[in-house]
A and B are shown apart, each in its own frame.
Chain A
Amino acid sequence: DSGVTQTPKHLITATGQRVTLRCSPRSGDLSVYWYQQSLDQGLQFLIQYYNGEERAKGNILERFSAQQFPDLHSELNLSSLELGDSALYFCASSVAPTSTHEQYFGPGTRLTVT
């Protein structure tokens, strides 16, 4: 158990809908990262937050957004969902946003868009 929690574990929804994925980082970790794992794209970095502020963006679509709240939990919002958004979404956390601080991954949320 990494200490990172993600809810829900599974989510099934229809095209055009909007969903919110939630992540609670390890106790003491200030930085949160979101990744998408799909069969065709592999594991891709989406976005990073540190202490409530956005720090970096990766291959995140404009239909997707995220935020980190004062209690440090984070939410990833996916809107106007398409079939291709079906994937496993991972949250990770680290103490600080530097490469020497390893990232601890949650179990993921599996999103299925039908």
Chain B
Amino acid sequence: AQSVTQPDIHITVSEGASLELRCNYSYGATPYLFWYVQSPGQGLQLLLKYFSGDTLVQGIKGFEAEFKRSQSSFNLRKPSVHWSDAAEYFCAVGLWSGGYNKLIFGAGTRLAVHP
């Protein structure tokens, strides 16, 4: 069955430090991969997506992610974290089958940023 694993439930970093959030997926075909961010009391905002091509994708707010097929991973990175990045981050795989589309989400990683 298709699944998405985010091994880290909580991560705390200092402002200005680099960040890497891990995501592993289980899916038989070529995955469509997404990272979403959810700020407190807000909906989900798409940070970036991977469909095909260059395995390093750039997103909004200075985030990037790298697709590694051999490791079934799609880790999210940011070179320098800002206090406003504190939020919950969700990795998701998009399933396209027989005319429908749904997202399978990981459990999320909650990011705290220390000043």
Contact = CB atoms under 8 A, between A and B. Distances in A.
A106 B43 contact: yes
B100 A56 contact: yes
Interface string A70-114: 000000000000000000001010100111111111111000000
Contacts of A100: 32, 51, 96
A75 B58 CA distance: 35
Contacts of B95: 99
A64 interface: no
Nearest to B107: A42
A100 to B, nearest CB: 6
Interface of B: 32, 34, 36, 42-46, 49, 51, 90, 94-96, 99-108
Interface of A: 2, 4, 31, 33, 35, 42-45, 48, 50, 55-56, 58, 90, 92, 94, 97-108
Q: Which 3 A-B pairs have the closest CB atoms?
A: A56-B100, A99-B94, A99-B96
